[in-house]
Amino acid sequence: MEALLEGLNDAQRAPVLQKDGAMMVIAGAGSGKTRVLTMRIAYLMQQGVDAFNILALTFTNKAAREMKNRIGTIVGNSEAKNLWMGTFHSVFAKILRIEGHHLGFPPNFTIYDSQDSQRLISAIIKEMGLDKDIYKYKQVHSRISSFKNSLITVKAYFQNPELQEADAMSKKPRMGEIYKEYVDRCFKAGAMDFDDLLLRTNELLARFPEVLAKYQKRFQYILVDEYQDTNHSQYLIVKALADRFQNICVVGDDSQSIYAFRGANINNILNFQRDYDDVKVYRLEQNYRSTKNIVEAANSVIEHNKTKLDKVVWTANDEGPKIIVHRSLTDGEEGRYVASSIFENKMNNQLKHSDFAILYRTNAQSRAMEDALRKREIPYRIFGGLSFYQRKEIKDVLAYLRLLVNPNDEEAIKRVINYPARGIGATTIDRLVIAAKQYGRSIFEVMENIQHLDIKINSSTKNKLYNFVNMIRSFQITAENADAFVVAEEVARKTGLLQELKKDGTPEGIARIENIEELLNGMRDFVEGQKEIADATGSLSEFLEDVALATDMDKDIDDVDRVSLMTIHLAKGLEFPYVYIVGLEEDLFPSGMSMNTRSELEEERRLFYVALTRAEKQAYLTYTESRYRWGKLIDAEPSRFIEEIDEKFLDIQTPLDTYRYKPMIDSDIFGEPDKSKLRLKKPVGGTPPTVGKPTEEQLQKLRKLRPQSTPSIRTDDLNDNLSKGMRVEHSRFGQGEVLSIEGIGQDQKAEIRFQTGGIKKLLLRFAKLKIL
Ligand code: ATP
Ligand code: MG
């Protein structure tokens, strides 16, 4: 036991040693909350508490596994295995398998994922003869989900005129009927959706006192990590189970509550003291994770939130390097900066790839990062999602693009022939496949001649197929003269893909649109980059070749040491020596959709606090001056969160510190600065302390973030100096050696062998080169 306590400071020891009673550990990031929880469990077991009597709820299953392993090393693995430990969903699914029969569910009930649920809801909407443009199945699903998380059952819905009125107002008076039908159908199918796992647990505990008593008795000690992000349904389960022994320990940080949009209720932490007798509140103040610079910078940002519990966080760790703030010209360059910075840090400090994490606000941002990492051959892993080119909507667009470059691509045809829906069913597709075999032709060729062939397809469907062929042909004509970006934009719009997603209107739908937008941005960037390469045109085929190589890397099996990429929401609880927080721009982070009220803005700020406090040794904050939105360069402003950090913790860099080159983008972003941008924008929803008339100090800092003008390096200086055998560095391709130079003036080209990307012939007029 001595050994167990050795790794804890006095403040941490106290909640570990208090065996019984209700307690809450409220403390800032990195102060050892999770460690306290882990050690408390080990300690209870050493005190003779049976592992079967301990319930520990974590935020992710990964966290539970890690905690179990840790406990296993102290008390022995075979004992640790008996702990009830996992996420709310996984633990209560287990209990429902044992007890679900009380509610009429079989032990082997199916768990519907959101796709299953949405499919069922959409079938119900159709059967009820409702307009699917008004009753959008994803919106209906998220409405039903929010009912369930607030414990509004079908019965409760019909007893609540306000809810019914709200649905009637939003033109969905039959919402209640859909809800009822959906619940009935799930029940008949012996299925529970994700929300049911919590709702049905609540129902079970409320309706069957003997079941409640059984689990109250079993779970003599209950522990909850990340308590600040529990929703109402989870809160009630914990409260019911802990009621008998009141041996409950919750740990959390109100400043890291970031799931309000999914129903998390910060009041659960604020009201804890009211819910139990004699609650002991512990505070931890010492951060063991991060350097002084990081801890203090994070403190200085979260200070701007009005709604928070007072907390002190300090560290005895080294001061560490300042937080690097890096400004790029575009998001493509932001990606390349991050990739080369990781590459250099790894080389210079003998690190592993797993020492690095790249965090972003929205999933779509992974594209620029992934592209840059691939070019540098840096292995990476996307957490909690697919890598960019594996996402459904991206594959859909790429399938169209592949199809118009190669109409014989059968997989591509099958993927998009009826997406968006054009009334071409599975039977028709089967018949096309058979006909193609019979005639020894490709499916596309069969479709091209469909009007003249004797195939069992009715004439209206034949017309649809013919229209599809014509659409693809018209794209091909565009592709003859236009670059990849122009073609792809036309495809996204004219196929109806975008309209389809816009109709959807759910957060997932919006994320999909963002991804397509991001694909187009990447193509625009690609086309620009190809201008540097002699003989390249930026055509669609060149782009697809580039992507084919990129997607191939996705197939890598695991166990490889990789850089971690994830949204900030997923990074909660984790830590990495080096953390890059990218896309720190107004409207992106804070998100443009979350700046309308103070509480939304404060949640964004907490998100930033979470992001920054993941870093152990060094944090990087990057932003770009301009981002492509639908292929147009839009001016971006540095995020207010950068401005909120005390400047003494920052090392503010400019792109010219990294690369000496002539910027190739439209001259307008280098022109006279927009004076309004030099003023701190007044955030919506009130005035935090730093806002108002900016001080001279703030203005100076802003000028640094956004300099008056970016001096451009004349390329002809570079050309004159450049000669065979020289070592150069290119922002996109990395380091290389000049093999030869040819041509004069505007046409001068250099042949360069790059360490990663083979030999390339670059037009010096455009090339972004630095002489090493
Ligand atoms: P978060 O709020 O981000 O979830 P946390 O409060 O849960 O953070 P932990 O993850 O438990 O913090 O601890 C942060 C880091 O500090 C971990 O690497 C942990 O091992 C280390 N640590 C915690 N307490 C101590 C201690 N007393 N001595 C040495 N290292 C410690
Ligand atoms: Mg933690």
Catalytic residue, chosen from 226, 296, 371, 532, is 226
Say which DSSP state 747 is in.
G
pLDDT of residue 692: 38
Q: Is 658 annotated as a binding residue?
A: no
Q: Is 307 annotated as a binding residue?
A: no
First to last CA, the chain: 57
Catalytic residue, chosen from 196, 225, 396, 644, is 225
Measured from the CA of 29, which atom of ligand 1 is nearest?
A: 2
Higher pLDDT, 114 or 200: 200
Measured from the CA of 38, which atom of ligand 1 is nearest?
A: 11
Whether residue 659 is predicted with pLDDT greater than 50 in this model: the reply is no
Q: What number of other Cβ atoms are within 10 A of residue 746's Cβ? A: 9
| 622 is a catalytic site residue | no
State which fold the 1-102+199-284 domain adopts: Rossmann fold (3.40.50)
Q: How far apart are CA 319 and CA 37, in angstroms?
A: 28
Whether residue 83 is predicted with pLDDT greater than 80 in this model: the reply is yes
Whether residue 695 is predicted with pLDDT greater than 80 in this model: the reply is no
Q: Once rounded to an integer, what is the mean pLDDT over residues 537-556?
A: 71
CA of 34 to the centre of ligand 1 (A): 7
Q: What is the mean pLDDT of the chain?
A: 85
What is the amino acid identity at position 49? V
What b/e readout covers 222-259, taking b as 16+ CB neighbours within 10 angstroms?
A: bbbbbbbbbbbbbbbbbbbbbeebebbbbbbbbbbbbb
CA of 481 to the centre of ligand 2 (A): 55
Q: Once rounded to an integer, what is the mean pLDDT over residues 678-692?
A: 34
- Is the bond preceding residue 688 a cis peptide, omega within 30 degrees? no
| 331 is a catalytic site residue | no
Whether residue 168 is predicted with pLDDT greater than 80 in this model: the reply is yes
Whether residue 206 is predicted with pLDDT greater than 90 in this model: the reply is yes
pLDDT of residue 745: 73
Whether residue 227 is predicted with pLDDT greater than 80 in this model: the reply is yes
Q: What is the pLDDT of residues 319-365, one digit of tens each?
A: 999 999 999 988 888 999 999 999 999 999 999 999 999 999 998 89
Find the range with the poorest average confidence among 118-122, 520-524, 656-660, 700-704: 656-660
The domain made up of 391-538 is a member of CATH 1.10.486.10: yes
Q: How far apart are CA 175 and CA 144, in angstroms?
A: 9
Alpha helices in 531-638, H assignment, sequence order: 540-553, 568-571, 598-612
Structure tokens at 763: 């037009």
Q: Once rounded to an integer, what is the mean pLDDT over residues 252-273?
A: 85
Q: How far apart are CA 304 and CA 299, in angstroms?
A: 9
CA of 563 to the centre of ligand 1 (A): 22
Measured from the CA of 27, which atom of ligand 1 is nearest?
A: 6
Question: Which CATH number does 314-379+559-652 carry?
Answer: 3.40.50.300
| Sequential DSSP letters for 208-243 | -HHHHHHHHHH-SEEEESSGGG-BHHHHHHHHHHHT
pLDDT of residue 489: 94
Whether residue 664 is predicted with pLDDT greater than 50 in this model: the reply is no
CA of 705 to the centre of ligand 2 (A): 33
Which ligand has the shortest distance to the CA of 606?
1
Q: What is the pLDDT of residues 445-456, one digit of tens each?
A: 999 999 888 888
| 68 is a catalytic site residue | no
| 34 is a catalytic site residue | yes
Q: Is 33 annotated as a binding residue?
A: yes
Q: Once rounded to an integer, what is the mean pLDDT over residues 684-712?
A: 47
Question: Among 226, 289, 294, which is best to mutate for testing ligand 1, by the most ligand atoms less than 8 A from CB?
Answer: 289
pLDDT of residue 138: 87
* DSSP H helix total and E strand total for the chain: 34, 22
Which ligand has the shortest distance to the CA of 289?
1
Topology match between the domains 314-379+559-652 and 391-538: no
| 225 is a catalytic site residue | yes
Q: What is the pLDDT of residues 96-134, one digit of tens each?
A: 989 999 999 988 788 777 777 888 898 899 999 999 899
Catalytic residue, chosen from 33, 138, 327, 346, is 33
Q: Is 30 annotated as a binding residue?
A: yes
Q: What is the pLDDT of residues 135-145, one digit of tens each?
A: 999 899 999 99
Closest CA to 625 of 661, 677, 580, 676: 677
Q: What is the pLDDT of residues 619-630, one digit of tens each?
A: 999 999 888 776
Which ligand has the shortest distance to the CA of 286?
1
Q: What is the pLDDT of residues 719-755, one digit of tens each?
A: 558 888 888 887 777 788 899 888 877 778 888 888 7
Q: Is 725 annotated as a binding residue?
A: no
| 748 is a catalytic site residue | no
pLDDT of residue 658: 40
Catalytic residue, chosen from 34, 201, 315, 613, is 34
- The angle at the Cα of 301, spanning 681 to 7, to the nearest 5 degrees, equals 165
Three-state DSSP at 475 gives helix
pTM of the complete model:
0.76
Q: Once rounded to an integer, what is the mean pLDDT over residues 548-554?
A: 57
- Give the position of tokens 């403390």: 27
What is the amino acid identity at position 533? I
| Sequential DSSP letters for 707-738 | -S--PPPPHHHHHHH--TT-EEEETTTEEEEE
**Cβ(281)–Cβ(307) under 8 Å?**
no
Protein residue with least CA distance to atom 28, ligand 1: 7
Three-state DSSP at 140 gives helix
Protein residue with least CA distance to atom 17, ligand 1: 289
Q: Once rounded to an integer, what is the mean pLDDT over residues 372-385?
A: 87
CA of 257 to the centre of ligand 1 (A): 18
Catalytic residue, chosen from 402, 614, 640, 768, is 614
Q: What is the pLDDT of residues 7-46, one digit of tens each?
A: 999 999 999 999 999 999 999 999 999 999 999 999 999 9
Protein residue with least CA distance to atom 24, ligand 1: 32
CA of 237 to the centre of ligand 1 (A): 28
Rg (C-alpha) for the chain, rounded Å, is 29
**What is the bridge-based pairing of β-strands 632-635 and 626-629?**
antiparallel
What b/e readout covers 368-407, taking b as 16+ CB neighbours within 10 angstroms?
A: bbbbbbbbbebebbbeeeebbbebebbbbbbbbbbbbbeb
pLDDT of residue 547: 79
Higher pLDDT, 488 or 550: 488
Whether residue 564 is predicted with pLDDT greater than 90 in this model: the reply is yes
Which ligand has the shortest distance to the CA of 31?
1
Q: What is the pLDDT of residues 394-440, one digit of tens each?
A: 989 999 998 998 888 788 898 899 999 999 988 999 899 889 888 88
Question: Among 34, 59, 299, 309, which is best to mutate for testing ligand 1, by the most ligand atoms less than 8 A from CB?
Answer: 34
Q: Once rounded to an integer, what is the mean pLDDT over residues 705-716?
A: 41
**Cβ(242)–Cβ(248) under 8 Å?**
yes
Q: How far apart are CA 124 and CA 140, in angstroms?
A: 11
pLDDT of residue 423: 92
Whether residue 718 is predicted with pLDDT greater than 90 in this model: the reply is no
pLDDT of residue 111: 77
Q: Is 320 annotated as a binding residue?
A: no
Q: What is the pLDDT of residues 586-608, one digit of tens each?
A: 999 998 877 778 888 999 999 99
Whether residue 379 is predicted with pLDDT greater than 80 in this model: the reply is yes
Say which DSSP state 310 is in.
-
Measured from the CA of 256, which atom of ligand 1 is nearest?
A: 2
CA of 365 to the centre of ligand 2 (A): 26
Residue extents of the structural domains in the chain: 1-102+199-284, 112-189, 314-379+559-652, 391-538, 726-771
CA of 210 to the centre of ligand 1 (A): 39
**Pocket lining for ligand 1, CB < 6 angstroms:** 7-9, 12, 27, 29-35, 253, 256, 288-289, 573, 575, 613
Catalytic residue, chosen from 139, 256, 365, 715, is 256
Whether residue 713 is predicted with pLDDT greater than 70 in this model: the reply is no
Q: Once rounded to an integer, what is the mean pLDDT over residues 199-222?
A: 97
Q: What is the pLDDT of residues 272-301, one digit of tens each?
A: 989 998 999 999 999 999 999 999 999 999
